Structure 1
Amino acid sequence: MSEQSTQSQPAADPRGARSGGGRPRRRFRRGRRKVCRFCADKTLPLDYKWAHVLEDFISERGRIVPARTTGTCAKHQRRLKLAIKRARNAALLPYTRG
Protein backbone atom coordinates (compact mmCIF):
# COMPACT_ATOMS: atom_id res chain seq x y z
CA MET A 1 0.00 0.00 0.00
CA SER A 2 1.12 3.46 -0.71
CA GLU A 3 1.32 5.91 2.10
CA GLN A 4 -1.08 8.87 1.84
CA SER A 5 -0.32 12.23 3.35
CA THR A 6 -2.55 12.77 6.36
CA GLN A 7 -2.00 16.45 6.86
CA SER A 8 -5.07 18.16 8.22
CA GLN A 9 -6.14 21.36 6.60
CA PRO A 10 -7.37 24.27 8.73
CA ALA A 11 -11.15 24.48 8.98
CA ALA A 12 -12.81 26.87 6.57
CA ASP A 13 -13.76 30.19 8.12
CA PRO A 14 -17.61 30.33 8.35
CA ARG A 15 -17.52 34.07 7.64
CA GLY A 16 -15.85 33.50 4.31
CA ALA A 17 -13.16 35.84 3.03
CA ARG A 18 -14.05 38.66 5.40
CA SER A 19 -12.12 37.33 8.36
CA GLY A 20 -9.66 39.64 10.01
CA GLY A 21 -10.28 43.18 8.83
CA GLY A 22 -13.25 45.49 8.95
CA ARG A 23 -15.36 46.82 11.73
CA PRO A 24 -15.91 44.78 14.86
CA ARG A 25 -19.36 43.31 15.20
CA ARG A 26 -21.77 45.01 17.54
CA ARG A 27 -23.68 42.88 19.92
CA PHE A 28 -27.39 43.57 19.91
CA ARG A 29 -28.61 44.05 23.42
CA ARG A 30 -32.30 44.02 24.07
CA GLY A 31 -33.58 46.33 26.79
CA ARG A 32 -35.96 45.47 29.57
CA ARG A 33 -39.36 44.23 28.57
CA LYS A 34 -41.93 46.96 28.85
CA VAL A 35 -44.97 46.35 31.00
CA CYS A 36 -48.48 47.04 29.79
CA ARG A 37 -49.70 50.21 31.52
CA PHE A 38 -53.27 48.94 31.60
CA CYS A 39 -52.34 45.58 33.14
CA ALA A 40 -50.09 47.20 35.74
CA ASP A 41 -52.58 49.92 36.74
CA LYS A 42 -56.06 48.42 36.81
CA THR A 43 -57.60 51.82 37.60
CA LEU A 44 -56.32 53.44 34.40
CA PRO A 45 -59.34 53.75 32.11
CA LEU A 46 -59.23 52.56 28.54
CA ASP A 47 -62.18 54.49 27.21
CA TYR A 48 -62.60 56.72 24.19
CA LYS A 49 -63.78 59.60 26.39
CA TRP A 50 -60.39 59.82 28.13
CA ALA A 51 -58.56 61.54 25.29
CA HIS A 52 -55.61 62.65 27.45
CA VAL A 53 -54.81 58.99 28.19
CA LEU A 54 -55.12 58.00 24.53
CA GLU A 55 -52.82 60.81 23.37
CA ASP A 56 -49.82 58.95 24.82
CA PHE A 57 -50.41 56.19 22.27
CA ILE A 58 -50.58 58.42 19.19
CA SER A 59 -47.47 59.53 17.32
CA GLU A 60 -46.66 63.08 16.25
CA ARG A 61 -48.08 62.28 12.84
CA GLY A 62 -51.37 61.06 14.33
CA ARG A 63 -50.71 57.35 13.87
CA ILE A 64 -51.35 54.69 16.50
CA VAL A 65 -48.04 53.70 18.08
CA PRO A 66 -47.35 49.93 17.82
CA ALA A 67 -47.41 47.65 20.84
CA ARG A 68 -43.71 46.81 20.52
CA THR A 69 -42.95 50.47 21.17
CA THR A 70 -45.45 51.20 23.94
CA GLY A 71 -45.27 47.80 25.63
CA THR A 72 -49.01 47.21 25.74
CA CYS A 73 -50.20 43.62 25.67
CA ALA A 74 -52.18 42.29 22.69
CA LYS A 75 -55.51 42.45 24.48
CA HIS A 76 -55.12 46.07 25.51
CA GLN A 77 -53.61 47.07 22.16
CA ARG A 78 -56.81 45.89 20.45
CA ARG A 79 -58.95 47.81 22.93
CA LEU A 80 -56.69 50.83 22.58
CA LYS A 81 -57.07 50.76 18.81
CA LEU A 82 -60.85 50.70 19.13
CA ALA A 83 -60.88 53.52 21.70
CA ILE A 84 -58.63 55.74 19.55
CA LYS A 85 -60.79 55.17 16.48
CA ARG A 86 -63.96 55.95 18.43
CA ALA A 87 -62.40 59.10 19.90
CA ARG A 88 -61.40 60.25 16.42
CA ASN A 89 -64.91 59.62 15.16
CA ALA A 90 -66.37 61.61 18.06
CA ALA A 91 -63.89 64.46 17.34
CA LEU A 92 -62.14 64.05 20.69
CA LEU A 93 -58.84 63.22 18.97
CA PRO A 94 -57.51 64.53 15.67
CA TYR A 95 -56.98 62.20 12.72
CA THR A 96 -53.70 63.96 11.95
CA ARG A 97 -51.55 66.39 13.82
CA GLY A 98 -50.31 69.33 11.89
Structure 2
Amino acid sequence: LQEIMTFADSTGKAIAHKDIAAILEEIDTSKDGKLTLEEHLNDIHNQADGGDEQEMKELEIRKKVEAAKFAAADLNGDGFLDKDEVPALFYPETHPEVLRVTV
Protein backbone atom coordinates (compact mmCIF):
# COMPACT_ATOMS: atom_id res chain seq x y z
CA LEU A 1 0.00 0.00 0.00
CA GLN A 2 2.84 2.40 0.83
CA GLU A 3 4.35 1.83 -2.60
CA ILE A 4 1.05 2.73 -4.26
CA MET A 5 0.69 5.87 -2.14
CA THR A 6 4.24 6.95 -2.97
CA PHE A 7 3.62 6.39 -6.66
CA ALA A 8 0.34 8.34 -6.56
CA ASP A 9 2.03 11.21 -4.72
CA SER A 10 4.95 11.43 -7.15
CA THR A 11 2.65 11.15 -10.17
CA GLY A 12 0.40 13.93 -8.85
CA LYS A 13 3.38 16.20 -8.28
CA ALA A 14 4.75 15.47 -11.77
CA ILE A 15 1.41 16.36 -13.37
CA ALA A 16 1.20 19.55 -11.30
CA HIS A 17 4.69 20.66 -12.34
CA LYS A 18 3.94 19.89 -16.00
CA ASP A 19 0.99 22.33 -16.02
CA ILE A 20 2.87 25.22 -14.42
CA ALA A 21 4.30 26.74 -17.61
CA ALA A 22 0.81 27.14 -19.09
CA ILE A 23 -0.59 28.52 -15.84
CA LEU A 24 2.20 31.08 -15.52
CA GLU A 25 1.86 32.06 -19.17
CA GLU A 26 -1.77 32.95 -18.58
CA ILE A 27 -1.68 34.53 -15.11
CA ASP A 28 1.84 36.01 -14.76
CA THR A 29 1.04 39.42 -16.22
CA SER A 30 4.48 40.86 -15.39
CA LYS A 31 6.12 37.94 -17.27
CA ASP A 32 8.84 37.60 -14.62
CA GLY A 33 8.31 33.85 -14.21
CA LYS A 34 6.80 34.31 -10.76
CA LEU A 35 3.27 34.71 -9.50
CA THR A 36 2.25 37.45 -7.09
CA LEU A 37 -0.83 37.36 -4.91
CA GLU A 38 -2.15 40.36 -6.83
CA GLU A 39 -1.79 38.54 -10.17
CA HIS A 40 -3.54 35.48 -8.75
CA LEU A 41 -6.42 37.44 -7.22
CA ASN A 42 -6.84 39.52 -10.38
CA ASP A 43 -7.19 36.31 -12.38
CA ILE A 44 -9.85 35.03 -9.99
CA HIS A 45 -11.69 38.35 -10.15
CA ASN A 46 -11.57 38.35 -13.96
CA GLN A 47 -13.02 34.84 -14.05
CA ALA A 48 -15.94 35.91 -11.85
CA ASP A 49 -17.53 37.81 -14.75
CA GLY A 50 -19.59 40.21 -12.65
CA GLY A 51 -22.53 38.78 -10.82
CA ASP A 52 -25.10 39.70 -8.24
CA GLU A 53 -24.44 40.80 -4.67
CA GLN A 54 -24.36 37.23 -3.31
CA GLU A 55 -21.86 36.13 -5.96
CA MET A 56 -19.64 39.09 -5.13
CA LYS A 57 -19.72 38.15 -1.42
CA GLU A 58 -18.74 34.60 -2.34
CA LEU A 59 -15.93 35.97 -4.51
CA GLU A 60 -14.55 37.97 -1.58
CA ILE A 61 -14.62 34.86 0.62
CA ARG A 62 -12.85 32.88 -2.09
CA LYS A 63 -10.20 35.60 -2.40
CA LYS A 64 -9.48 35.29 1.35
CA VAL A 65 -9.08 31.53 1.02
CA GLU A 66 -6.85 31.97 -2.03
CA ALA A 67 -4.70 34.50 -0.13
CA ALA A 68 -4.26 31.97 2.70
CA LYS A 69 -3.38 29.25 0.17
CA PHE A 70 -0.87 31.59 -1.47
CA ALA A 71 0.78 32.32 1.89
CA ALA A 72 1.02 28.60 2.66
CA ALA A 73 2.52 27.87 -0.76
CA ASP A 74 5.09 30.69 -0.44
CA LEU A 75 7.71 28.54 1.25
CA ASN A 76 10.47 31.15 1.34
CA GLY A 77 8.10 33.98 2.30
CA ASP A 78 9.27 36.35 -0.44
CA GLY A 79 5.75 37.27 -1.60
CA PHE A 80 6.17 35.48 -4.92
CA LEU A 81 5.48 31.93 -6.02
CA ASP A 82 8.18 30.57 -8.29
CA LYS A 83 7.84 27.58 -10.59
CA ASP A 84 8.50 25.22 -7.68
CA GLU A 85 5.92 26.86 -5.39
CA VAL A 86 3.08 27.48 -7.88
CA PRO A 87 1.96 23.82 -8.10
CA ALA A 88 0.90 23.85 -4.44
CA LEU A 89 -1.49 26.74 -5.08
CA PHE A 90 -3.34 25.02 -7.92
CA TYR A 91 -2.87 21.42 -6.74
CA PRO A 92 -3.27 21.64 -2.94
CA GLU A 93 -3.11 17.88 -2.60
CA THR A 94 0.62 18.11 -3.42
CA HIS A 95 1.36 20.32 -0.39
CA PRO A 96 0.13 19.51 3.15
CA GLU A 97 0.00 23.12 4.38
CA VAL A 98 -2.01 24.35 1.40
CA LEU A 99 -4.30 21.34 1.67
CA ARG A 100 -5.06 22.24 5.30
CA VAL A 101 -6.19 25.70 4.18
CA THR A 102 -8.56 24.29 1.56
CA VAL A 103 -10.20 21.60 3.69
TM-score using structure 1 length:
0.30
Which one has the bigger helix percentage? 2
TM-score using structure 2 length:
0.28
Q: Greater CA radius of gyration, 1 or 2?
A: 1
